[in-house]
Every structure is written in structure tokens, then in C-alpha cells.
Amino acid sequence: MKKPLFNIVCCSVDSTVNGALKSLITAINCNPILTDNYETIVEKIKKKEITALLLDEFIYYKEKKCHIKKIFKNYTYKLPAIFLLESLHESQDYHPYKQYLRKPINIVTLKNHLSPYLSDKKLIKDSAVIKIGDFNFDKNLNILVDKNNNKINLTYLESRLIVTFLQNFNKSLSEDFLLKNVWGYSPDVNSNTIKTHIWRLRKKIAKKSSSKFSLETTNKGYVFKK
């Protein structure tokens, strides 16, 4: 087995759950760091020792058992966090670094949700900028630049979305196609999640790009066109 490339915190008040999460992280060739409290997470983040968080429904905060959605309500870290919940709600808040998965999860689901963040860490600086149509896209910085030098800052998933659209310019892409190519076709990603990301990406393009491009909704899905 290859040497693990990434450190991922697994956090739960249940030692059995932590053990199961450890097995999942090890199976995708990452290094699990087990804890049950928020203070340890903050310490690891400040020291820049971790790549992502995998958080069970309950953790300890100031020596009290608390729900993660309460503790991480105002999430300010630029670090991907996956929250494991008993049930998902359609009105989840949008955040570029937060994802919600229904328990239990398997290796494929976890790998699909982590891959956008892990793969970006491996990009080579010398080939970071790619040209697609009238756009230049920096894969390391997640910045899209149009022909008038307008810069659009994107999140990880927005970057994967825009590249998928630019590679399929003027083609209507279905939600199933986007699920497969952007999210790794996870059953835990619903249509509301896709619509939220599309809405955010559309706003960024319309607001900051002077090029006459639009991201439109069709009866078959979504299309990026001039």
C-alpha cells in the first residue's frame, strides 16, 4: 500500500463509530486522526496538520456532548468538512466547504465526496492553467479568467462544475450527468444541492464576467453558452 498522502480527522463521541471511520479513511489510502472533541480539531486546523474533517453527529464541546450542526453553524475554516447525519434536510445551508451525508456511508460514497479536495492537492504548478474557449482556468487557485481579464473566484465544486460545462459547451447537461461527473454520482447528493451550486455559479459569472456567456436552465438540465 502507498504511503498515505492526506490526514483526515475522524470525530465522534462513539468509539465504535470512530473505529469504523478509521477503517474507511485507511481504505482510501488516507491517514485517520481520531478524536472526540472540538478543541482537538481546532488545534489540528491551526497547525495545518489536516486536509479534511469527517464528523459524526455528536462531538464534545467544552466537555459537553453537542450536535455538530450547532457547533459548526458558522463555519469559518477553509477546510472541507463532511457531516454524518441520521437524516438530511432539503433546506440545508450552502457552504463551499461543508457537505452532509446520511449515515451509514461506504467507501465509494466517501471517496467520491473527498476526491474533489484531495485531487486538487496533487496538481502540478507548471500545468496549472488550462485554456477552454475564451477562458483561462487556474486549477491550483480555482480562478476563472475571461478574455477581458475579469477574475472569478470559485470553490472546489464550482471549479469542477465550470470545467465540466466548458468541456461540453453549448450542450445541455442533465442532473444525472452532473452527479456522475462532478459529485461522483453519489445518491446522497440531491437535486436541491445541484440547483444551489448552479445558482451560485450563475451569479458569479453574470456579475463579474463581461463576456456574453450564460448558464441557463433547459427542460433537459443546464447549458453553458454564448
SS (H, E, C) 3-16: CCCCEEEEECCCHH
pLDDT band at 201 (very low <50, low <70, confident <90, very high): confident
3-state SS, residue 85? strand
pLDDT band at 58 (very low <50, low <70, confident <90, very high): very high
Average pLDDT for 64-89: 87
Give the list of residues 6+ apart from residue 94 with CB closer than 8 angstroms, or none.
196, 197, 200
Report which secondary-structure segment, H or E, holds 137. Answer: strand 135-138
Q: What percent of the chain has pLDDT over 90?
A: 26
Which pLDDT value is given to residue 135? 75
Mean pLDDT of the chain: 81
Which CB contacts under 8 angstroms, 24+ apart, belong to 199-208?
A: 200/94, 200/158, 201/154, 201/158, 201/161, 201/162, 204/152, 204/153, 204/154, 204/158, 205/152, 208/150, 208/151, 208/152
The DSSP output letter for 168 is T
Please tell me which residue, 108 or 216, carries the higher pLDDT value. Answer: 216
Q: How far is CA 112 from the centre of its chain?
A: 10
pLDDT band at 212 (very low <50, low <70, confident <90, very high): low
Which pLDDT value is given to residue 127? 47
Q: What is the pTM (predicted TM-score) of this model?
A: 0.59
Which pLDDT value is given to residue 122? 41
At 141-159, the pLDDT tens digits run 678 787 777 778 888 788 8
Q: Which residue ranges form the domains of the chain, and what is each CATH number?
A: 7-120 (3.40.50.2300), 125-225 (1.10.10.10)
- Find, among 117, 118, 81, 75, the residue nearest to 101 by Cα: 81
Which pLDDT value is given to residue 126? 40
Which pLDDT value is given to residue 157? 81
The rounded distance, in Å, linking the Cα atoms of 194 and 192 is 5
Please tell me which residue, 85 or 212, carries the higher pLDDT value. Answer: 85
Average pLDDT for 179-190: 73
Average pLDDT for 122-138: 61
C-alpha cell at 117: 479536495
- Contact between residue 100 and residue 114 where contact means Cβ atoms under 8 Å apart: no
Which pLDDT value is given to residue 130? 74
